[in-house]
Amino acid sequence: MAAYEDASSEPRVGEFCLNLARQLGKSPELSKAMWLFSELRPTQLRSVAASEAAVADLIIISVHHQESLPEEINDWIHMWLDHKDKKPSVLVALFEPVYQGDSTSMHAYLKDVAKQGNMELFVQTEELREPD
């Protein structure tokens, strides 16, 4: 399950999932639900996405470097945290390397979210593409 900021942050999700599938080997069972941040503004859609995230083994948030997440994304996170079971899962933060900025407070926030949700947090800021 993934939420991404815009068209420039979406490809990182796809690249991450492809790399993950390669590392998992033969026929991994991956289902990918993706939500654009702006799609999470309406409460009904945010609720649907939160229900998907609450049962996901892997949640990816792909964003630009910035101080904090938009309010609707924070609301979405709290919605799925409130309904998430305590099974171990993974939260991945993919920061778009093209955009520079201070994301220290967002990183701390996501670290706290992971702790509350019994999740491992992985943060990736470098390019995912393999060298030619």
Task: For residue 117, tell me if it sits in a domain.
Answer: yes
Domain that residue 77 falls in: 2-21+31-124
Tell me the C-alpha distance between 3 and 23, whole Å: 22
- Surface-to-core class of residue 66, CB atoms within 10 Å of its CB (0-12 exposed, 13-18 middle, 19+ buried): middle
- Residue 54 in domain: yes
Judge whether 130 lies within some domain: no
For residue 45, what is the domain's CATH number? 3.40.50.360
Task: Measure the CA–CA gap between 38 and 117, rounded to whole angstroms.
Answer: 24
Quote the pLDDT of residue 18: 84
Is position 88 within any domain? yes
Q: Average the pLDDT over each of 47-61, 66-80, 101-115 and give the range with the smallest value.
A: 101-115
**pLDDT at residue 65, rounded to an integer:** 80
How would residue 131 be classed by pLDDT, with cut points 50, 70 and 90?
A: very low
What number is the average pLDDT over the span 59-72? 89
Check pLDDT > 80 for residue 106. Answer: yes
Tell me the pLDDT band of 129, cut-offs 50, 70 and 90. very low
| Residues in CB range of 1: below 8 A, 6 or more apart | 32, 33, 34, 35, 49, 52, 53, 56, 58, 59, 60
Position 9 in a domain: yes
Assigned token pair, 25: 């080997």
